[in-house]
Amino acid sequence: MSSPPNPSVTSKSTRKPAAMDNTALFLQLVSKIPLMARVALLHMLQASPASKYQDLRTELTIAMIRSFMDVPKPKSITSTQRMLSRAPPISGTIWVSKYTLPIATEEDARHIHDTLTKVIDGLQDRDQPKTARIQLPKVLPVEAEWTAHRPGVPKDAKLPEIPEREKYDEMMKDVKTPTTVLYFHGGAYWLMDPATHRPTCRELAKRTGGRCYSVRYRLAPQNPFPAAVMDALVSYLGLLYPPADAFHEAVKPEHIVIAGDSAGGNLSLALLQLLMQMQRSGTTVSWLGQERSVPLPAGVAVNSPWMDITHSSPSCVTNAPFDYLPGLEAQDNADKSRDPCAAWPANPPRMSMYVADDYIMHPLVSLLLAPSWRGAPPTYICTGWEMLADEDKFTAARFHAEGVSVTFEEYEGMPHCFAMLLKNLREADRCMEGWSRFIARVTKPSAAAEGADVEKSTTRSTFTTIKSETLEEKELDPTTLSPYTEVEIREKIRRRIELKCVPATEGDVAKL
């Protein structure tokens, strides 16, 4: 699927005047004044849980975002998609070259279907009841944006009005290293777009000296699992084995890092698990008329990855004061009261926008249930004191226990994906530094991007908590990072599915 409809190109007959939008926004902001006053007072009195770790501006920002997300009757899915997928003008120190990986041949499409079916069936828990075979979508062209840093231009500089291929060629003149980040944006699998994540991709490219390939994967609920996973696989194949008329030359796997935030982190690790299952089963894939082996990338780097789509972890309750994501009760209420549209509720009904009920516990969906990560490439995981913290910690600890080189960073008092949202914070800069430094290290073990301090070893694991404000670093013990066993995790997920709306209890709380 292409990106959601863009309001900036909607016909005049259906587009609201800007003055009406501005008036509505002003009235909403005015209505938030009592909330902001209460948050400010509690912060100054050091009476809120977050006040010891967040400055006033940060706590106000988080409270404001949370209030806009937690509304009694949310807009319809399609309306929200249109609103949050707007493409801002491209200007300043960024290159963007739009590229569409062409549709595969019928033979390739059939082989990709067969490969995906084999992997999905091979990973399926035999004890998990399944009433219907997974419905695979069509193999379609996949859009993406090549993104890189564009130095030496004013902040308001526009991209040259030249063909996309020429933009790519000009971009490559500013790319200093072979590092290529295959990037999957966040947005709960039904929101956002590469356009919304251009600043993040530009920053990663700038700090690594490389480039990002940001994928416009198909969104749910219109395109449920495994559409996004299919698009991710096709995009990876397109980097390794590009068609003859592609902008880029073949990218070596040792120069590729798969990266993403939130749901994009889930998709990054789902793609990795898919590739690992292909290797475990000796599966190759027909691509551009040739049988191809599919090697693993140099690494995976995920920011606040969403590893459990059921939100069964206790931190989904206990860490709510530090996060802007709606609490479980608010999410469940929103699902019940949201305005209907053509996309949702689904027909037949299902619990999750992303996946059919029979596949919620599939290891390519709920990554906490993956059978093994042994043999995975070096992996970077960062998280805050957010609602997803427990699942991120469990994932990092499990990777380490299975012999994977892990770089784990926990940021004290920080919300979900804070480095992309609260860019003025020193913690945000430190997070972007750690994220990009890892990418540079695993793709260029012998040399760093300019200004990066590259470690010689790509096998040593590090587990670190970064203190708020001071950025003091404290080493963590990976063996005590998560108190849960795989059996307990599976039971929590199963219970959440069965009860649907029952949140984790205080008795299940993990100590931060």
If DSSP states are collapsed to H, E and C, what string results for 438-507?
HHHHHHCCCCCCCCCCCCCCCCCCEEEEECCCCCCEEECCHHHCCCCCHHHHHHHHHHHHHHCCCCCCHH
Domain residue limits, the chain: 7-84, 94-480
Q: What angle do CA 65, 70, 74 make, to 5 degrees?
A: 115
Phi and psi of 389, rounded to 5°? Answer: -60, -45
Spatial distance between the Cα atoms of 135 and 216, rounded to a whole number of angstroms:
21
Q: Tens digits of per-residue pLDDT, 249-293?
A: 999 999 999 999 999 999 999 999 999 999 999 999 999 989 999
State percent of the chain over pLDDT 90: 74
Phi and psi of 371, rounded to 5°? Answer: -65, -35
Residue 364 burial (CB count, 10 A): 25
pLDDT attached to residue 334: 80
Band of residue 105 on the pLDDT scale cut at 50, 70, 90? confident
Q: Tens digits of per-residue pLDDT, 456-473?
A: 345 689 999 999 999 999
pLDDT attached to residue 214: 99
Band of residue 22 on the pLDDT scale cut at 50, 70, 90? low
Residue whose C-alpha is closest to residue 212's, from 258, 148, 299: 148
Mean pLDDT of the chain: 89
Q: What is the pTM of this model?
A: 0.90
Q: What is the length of the chain?
A: 512
Residue 427 burial (CB count, 10 A): 24
Exposed e or buried b per residue across 374-411, where buried means at least 16 C-beta atoms within 10 angstroms of its C-beta? eebbbbbbbbbbbbbbbbbbbbbbbbbeeebbbbbbbb
Q: Are 448 and 356 in contact (CB under 8 A)?
A: no
Q: Which residue type does 338 have?
A: R
Q: Tens digits of per-residue pLDDT, 3-19?
A: 333 333 333 333 444 45
The average pLDDT across 68-74 equals: 83
pLDDT attached to residue 176: 97
The average pLDDT across 153-163 equals: 97
Q: Are strands 379-384 and 299-303 parallel, antiparallel or unpaired?
A: parallel
pLDDT attached to residue 116: 96
The average pLDDT across 309-338 equals: 90
Which residue's structure tokens are 């073990």? 445
- Classified by CATH at the fold level, domain 94-480 comes out as Rossmann fold (3.40.50)
